[in-house]
Amino acid sequence: MTSQTYTVTGMTCGHCAASVTEEISEIEGVENVDVVVETGAVTVTSASPLDESAVRAAVEEAGYALA
């Protein structure tokens, strides 16, 4: 199991966090997504390391951006 923390810009509320969590959770191998709206920190736990481009695409699909 591996864990990686990303910084997502533009989130302001719980709905934002839920949208980001939902999109990242659809990536194959993702087991947990923890979002801290105040700091923009998104910690993703997965079975194996994720391709950052897949995470970036999921965040963008939710309407936000990786910093």
Q: What is the pLDDT of residues 21-57, one digit of tens each?
A: 999 999 999 999 999 999 999 999 999 999 999 999 9
How wide is the angle at C-alpha 61 spanned by C-alphas 59 and 65, nearest 5°?
40
Task: Name the domain count of the chain.
Answer: 1
Domain that holds residue 44: 2-66
> pTM here?
0.94
Domain CATH for 30: 3.30.70.100
Helix axes 14-25, 52-61, angle to 10 degrees: 130
* Diameter of the chain measured on Cα atoms: 29
